Amino acid sequence: MMEEYIAQAEQDLLHTYNRYPVVFDRGEGVHLYDLDGKEYLDFVAGIAVFALGYGNEEYNNALKEQIDKIIHTSNYYYNVPAVEAAKRLKQVSGLDRVFFTNSGAEAVEGAIKAARKYAYLKDGNTDHEIIAMEHSFHGRTMGALSVTGNKKYREAFEPMIGNVKFARLNDFDSVKQLVNDKTCAIIMETVQGEGGIFPAEEGFLKAVRKLCDEKDILLILDEIQCGMGRTGTMFAWQRYGVKPDIMTVAKALGCGVPIGAFLMTERVGQNSLEAGDHGTTYGGNPLACKAAWTVLDLYESRHILEHVKKMGDYLTDGLEELVSKYSFITERRGLGLLQGLVFDRPVNEIIAKALKEGLVLINAGTNIIRFVPPLVIEEKHIDDMIGILEKCLKE
């Protein structure tokens, strides 16, 4: 049966993904099951999305209840889930204004527009510049792609939106050299994900924050993958005490229901986007916001952040042991439950072998295996993952 669906998909779907030959049918806890009933230990979580695991009863019941009430109304009217989700996001972030989107890329688009409008209202000019980071990844839409620091994603779709320059993460001098009177924003992932699992260093972040304060430049931190508790704090920047002017969030915010958001301080909110400047048909609808509202409540009631800190340490120890045992693994990088193993060769074959052995993994670049499991994993799941991975490494 799986072969039939795969063949049909290859005929019908646009070929923008090189998919693995499996059709997942259902999930339970931290495991997935294909159409033939085979069990897989999931260390991808839909690319850092399904933080609470599969089949969470409270989450599922909340969505079922909302479906029976109302799914969509449009942003010309208020709805309770959007208000409640925004209130909770403000509480956990310390930021003041929320705009709900359908995805992370859309959140980045909104953040860019807010930064440009902020600068425009200051001087009336439209030639402002944004500094982004090399090896960054912010999404596939044209604006998000314009600040993505990898030429292979951009070159076929140029020209981009323009006035974007690229510095190097954790190299403050490279940022200072690009700053001028036209610079309106500096955007970065607090932990680079797709670009190789590179965390921003505390000193670098604090230096950039200070520079932004001195020159009234907006600091935009992309927490789409590294946020929502994945590194052990609700947002990765909170471990450094460096607060952004604008933040983007998505992925685990909805735990499977498509939703993103960009948040900002009151100062930026009062001096950037106004009525008519930005909008979305689906963003902030009751169903998506009920998902976010429920996720944020469950994070608190189930003490997810404390759990991630413990499991993050345990995963770190397990991966470091692999580094010490295998010469072709050169490094471990990451924080909490966002980790990467760096190899001296491509990892696609290892990932494919692991899938056959019932372990779902994903890469970050050609030579890095990325580990972004559900945040509810236990030590036994990490032990099982290490065991399966070692079997594949020995082969």
* Residue 377 banded pLDDT, cuts 50, 70, 90: very high
> In the predicted model, what is the mean pLDDT of residues 243-261?
98
For residue 32, pLDDT beyond 90 = yes
Residue 235, classified by CB atoms within 10 Å of its CB into exposed (0-12), middle (13-18) or buried (19+), is buried
Q: What are the angstrom distances between the C-alpha of 326 and each of 275, 296, 323, 356, 357?
A: 57, 40, 6, 22, 20
Closest CA to 181 of 214, 154, 155, 210: 214
For residue 1, pLDDT beyond 90 = no
* Residue 84 banded pLDDT, cuts 50, 70, 90: very high
131 contacts: CB under 8 Å, gap ≥ 6: 164, 165, 166, 167, 175, 178, 179, 183, 185, 186, 187
User: pTM for this structure?
Assistant: 0.97
228-246 per-position pLDDT tens digit: 999 999 999 999 999 999 9
Q: Strand, coil or helix: what is 329?
A: strand
- Helical pair 379-394 and 348-356, crossing angle rounded to 10 deg: 120
**Rounded CA separation 249/1 (Å):** 37
Question: What is the chain's percent helix, strand, coil content, to nearest 5?
Answer: 40, 20, 40
259 contacts: CB under 8 Å, gap ≥ 6: 100, 101, 102, 250, 253, 283, 288, 289, 291, 292
All structural domains of the chain: 2-56+303-394 (3.90.1150.10), 70-301 (3.40.640.10)
* Residue 395 banded pLDDT, cuts 50, 70, 90: confident
